[in-house]
Amino acid sequence: MGQSTVNINFRMDADLKNNMEKVCRDLGLTLTAAFIIFATKVAREKRIPFEVAVDPFYSDQNMARLKKSIAQMESTGGTIDEVDVRD
């Protein structure tokens, strides 16, 4: 019995696609081959084969600090250089 194949379509940023295609070419791969390698590893290991983490910039603590700094700046009419961002 032969393997059947399917097409998968998804959207991504054009610059990201172009950069990934360049890296794949440098590695001697097509974009399709790179995604198949990724999918095979995920299916075999039942996990994402690299660390996936939230950008700490968007943490609740950092967002609260930024909002506090912005409010302080707006209330004093100061510039960002003049704002005390310490807790």
pLDDT at 24 (0 to 100): 95
Q: According to the 3-state scheme, what is the secondary structure of 6-61?
A: CCCCCCCCHHHHHHHHHHHHHCCCCHHHHHHHHHHHHHHHCCCCCCCCCCHHHCHH
> Given this model, what pLDDT does residue 78 score?
63
Domain of 62 in residue numbering reads as 54-87
Residue 20 and residue 34 in one domain: yes
Q: Do both 3 and 40 map to the same domain?
A: yes
pLDDT along the chain (87 residues), means of 10: 84 94 96 95 93 79 85 73 54
67 and 43 part of one domain: no
Q: What is the pTM of this model?
A: 0.57
- Number of structural domains found in the chain: 2
State whether 16 and 36 are in the same domain: yes
- For position 13, which CATH number holds? 1.10.1220.10
**pLDDT for 5:** 92
Beta-sheet strands, E only, within the chain: none
Q: Would you state the pLDDT for residue 2?
A: 64
